[in-house]
A and B are shown apart, each in its own frame.
Chain A
């Protein structure tokens, strides 16, 4: 069975600084998807970024980028130029390509951005 681990329950960063959130996962599969989702206080879950395991190039979306290390089963999220609106819970999630609509989530990291 696949598992996703987020070892940082809480993190904080000053506005305009850079922060990295960690995620590790366990799977015996070779092809899969990894995601970062953001859940602000409004509770609306928002897709931040997606990575396909068979692509070596790290995904980027504006200020958000990932460091995908397949051999180490590591998938960290880097937020550059942090903004107050980035304050939220961040969830790392795994999905196999064979069960394309079942997300397995980590426990989340609460990120607080300070002015």
Chain B
């Protein structure tokens, strides 16, 4: 089974621009979660989508948004980029059920975003 894929792997943007990151989950996984990783704040939960609906949202400004498509692929968008948005953005997928393997998330390689 192919793992979680994220595109692009690296991105350089300037302040004020917007960016869209993409995540394709493991086949059969219906939940996609996004995390931001920075040296200062560590790993922080952004949001989670299941069946095209946002189920959970972290404490991030409204400039951060996302969506999920019917094939479970997900995108996240950051508008009006700020220098502090420079980070590694990680996507994770899971079966989103109970029982064996419940809660296990499998991560993609991440997208490294640099804002200049």
Contacts and interface: CB of A to CB of B under 8 A. Distances in A.
B106 A101 contact: no
Interface of B is mostly: strand
Interface string A39-80: 000111111001000000000000000000000000000000
Nearest to B110: A43
B8 to A, nearest CB: 14
A37 B43 CA distance: 12
A107 B42 contact: yes
A34 to B, nearest CB: 9
Contact of B56 (A35, A37, A101, A106): A101
A91 B50 CA distance: 25
A3 to B, nearest CB: 12
A72 to B, nearest CB: 22
The size class of the interface chain A forms with chain B is: 20 to 34
Nearest to A93: B43
Interface of B: 31, 33, 35, 42-45, 48, 50, 55-56, 58, 88, 90, 92, 94, 96, 98, 102-107, 109-110
A102 B109 contact: no
A6 to B, nearest CB: 10
Interface string A79-115: 0000000000001000101011111111110000000
Interface of A: 33, 35, 37, 42-47, 50, 91, 95, 97, 99-108
A52 B43 CA distance: 22
B109 to A, nearest CB: 5
A47 B45 contact: no
A47 B104 contact: yes
A50 B45 contact: no
